[in-house]
Structure 1
Amino acid sequence: MSSSSKKQKKQRNKAFYKYLDNDRIYSCSKCHTHLAKHEELISKAFQGRLGRAFLFNSIENVILGKNEDRTLITGVHTVKDISCVSCRSVIGWKYVYAYQEDQKYKENKYIVEKTMLSKENNWDEQY
């Protein structure tokens, strides 16, 4: 492959990454790819596979896995694993469907394991 072909391929791959321009950003703890603005955070009081997890309205720069019914602490949900688009680490899951009525608020929201998150930019001690 010529150097110009490699450069074009690299530029095409970068087009899938979204840079989040914000004071407080959550990023992948492995590769620091931007994942979410702080404003997208709904709750820090969730449980993931690895311990504490955060619930977000939206996430950027992730790859969605296949639908899978999974029994979680709050019942059965249809979920898709989410992986960082850059390093391919599984960072959490997306809620696709909640079978229980009181869990419907989670649909189309994202769980990200706390251990898979880093804080970027201007975080103050108060946060």
Structure 2
Amino acid sequence: FRGYHGKAALFTHIFNVSLDPPCVLLMDTGAHTIQEITCSACSAYLGWKIVRAHEWAEKWKEGGCILELELV
């Protein structure tokens, strides 16, 4: 995976984070409804949660959290 700051990874369970309201993000793989993820202690941006993949082939990502490795 690629994030805004470089390499990123998909996680199914994360802790001590806050989620922003959902919004639609257009990616190379199609449109996704996401929620940005921030640290609950310092509010630093960490990545995003995929709430809904609009393309059928990308549905497997739904519910997953993309964390930017540079920021973790």
Q: Distance in 1 between matches of 2:28 and 2:67?
A: 16
Q: How far is the alpha carbon of 1:72 from its aligned partner?
A: 1.1
Matched ranges for 1:78-89 at <5 A: 78-89=33-44
The residue identity in structure 2 corresponding to 1:104 is K
1:60 is aligned to: 15
Deviations along 1:21-80, whole A, 9 cap, x unmatched? xxxxxxxxxxxxxxxxxxxxxxxxx01111110100111110000100000121100000
**Structure 1: 4+ residue segments shifted above 6 A:** none
Structure 1's unaligned 5+ residue stretches are 1-45, 118-127
TM-score w.r.t. length of structure 1: 0.55
2:24 is aligned to: 69
Matched ranges for 1:41-60 at <5 A: 46-60=1-15
- Equivalent position to 2:65, from 107, 110, 113: 110
What do you get for the CA RMSD once the two structures are aligned?
0.6
Q: Distance in 2 between matches of 1:95 and 1:107?
A: 5
The structure having more radius of gyration, on CA atoms, is 1
Structure 2's unaligned 5+ residue stretches are none
Matched ranges for 1:111-126 at <5 A: 111-117=66-72
TM-score w.r.t. length of structure 2: 0.96
Which structure's residues are more often helix, by fraction?
1
2:49 is aligned to: 94
Which structure's residues are more often strand, by fraction?
2
Q: Which has the higher contact order (CA 8 A, sep 6+)?
A: 2
Identity %: 38
